[in-house]
Amino acid sequence: MSDLTVPSVEAMEKGGLMGSLRRVVRVVYSPAGVFQELERRPDWLVPLIICVLIAAISSWILIPRVILPAQIEALESRNLPEQQLEAARPWLEGSRPLYIGLISAVAFTVLAFVVVAGIFHLVCTLLLGGQANFGRTFSVVAYSSVISVPESIVKVPIQLLTKSVEAHTSLALILSSPGAESGFAYRFLYRFMDQFDVFAFWKIVLLGVGLSVIFKFSRKKAYYAVVILWLVYALGVAAVSGIAPRAGG
């Protein structure tokens, strides 16, 4: 992965910051053109920064208003001894949990970019026979992920209004949220249907277009790869939720 270098100098030749920002906008309505540019000159820094900022801002808004109150309520409902409650409160009150949450959101976003790009790169090169350097794959993942901007614009207000960490734009809307008494099968089904999300499908479309461009695949071959990997991820998330509902979401 030594080819994953910060593209600042090269990006200057192609319009610098404004060129990257224009690509961030254009990827929404003209993704093929954007990915053709990225195939010639990888560029991932600006969309990565945007996604990190969105994750940090969303966390800053939601942690004190939604996430921490929900965690405190869940903790108090467990009827723990007062000594254990007092020991847990410093981690759920004040500025400490906010800072930890912000740092975690930023770190997770960067890590997720690297892991997702790595998986797609390995599958497309080793299994599907494509040829492209990791910087191009990372650029496709970065620009496809800017869909987190409209996603947050839609979901964060819903979370604030409902005082819930859940904000569904998925098939999970047709089901009731699983309770403590819900069995594995229902929790699995609920979380699996939750993966059928409008914004997830939008990302799948962009990833399919981007991978087809940089690896010179047919659009169908690229979509097969993306959809199969997405299904593996969706099944994994649903299984974790079924076994351990708190970890699953």
Over residues 197-222, the pLDDT tens digits come to 999 999 999 999 999 999 999 999 99
Above 70 in pLDDT, residue 249? Answer: no
Distance CA 249, CA 242 (A): 10
Sign of CA dihedral 198, 50, 144, 59: negative
Q: What is the pLDDT of residue 2?
A: 47
Mean pLDDT of all residues in 174-181: 81
pLDDT, one tens digit per residue, over 118-175 is 999 999 999 999 999 999 999 999 999 999 999 999 999 999 999 988 899 999 999 8
CB 23 within 8 A of CB 37: yes
The mean of the pLDDT values for the chain is 88
Distance CA 200, CA 226 (A): 11
| β partners of residue 170 | 197
Q: Is residue 1 part of a domain?
A: no
Q: Is residue 67 part of a domain?
A: yes
Number of compact structural domains in the chain? 1
CB 152 within 8 A of CB 54: yes
- The encoded tokens of residue 72 equal 């405190």
Q: Which residues contact 105 (CB under 8 A, 6 or more apart)?
A: 55, 56, 58, 59
Contacts 24+ apart (CB under 8 A), 182-189: 182/245, 184/242, 184/243, 185/242, 187/238, 187/241, 187/242, 187/245, 187/248, 188/238, 188/239, 188/241, 188/242, 189/238
Q: Is residue 31 part of a domain?
A: yes
Mean pLDDT of all residues in 50-79: 88
Q: What is the pLDDT of residue 13?
A: 47
* 7: confidence class by pLDDT, cuts 50, 70, 90: low
b/e per residue 110-135 (b: at least 16 CB within 10 A): eeebeebbeebbebbbeeeebebbbb
Q: Is residue 151 part of a domain?
A: yes
Q: Is residue 2 part of a domain?
A: no
* 11: confidence class by pLDDT, cuts 50, 70, 90: very low
Q: Is residue 3 part of a domain?
A: no
Mean pLDDT of all residues in 59-65: 94
Q: Is residue 46 part of a domain?
A: yes
**Residue-range definition of the domain harbouring residue 243:** 8-248
Q: Is residue 69 part of a domain?
A: yes
Closest CA to 184 of 241, 230, 146: 241
Above 90 in pLDDT, residue 176? Answer: no
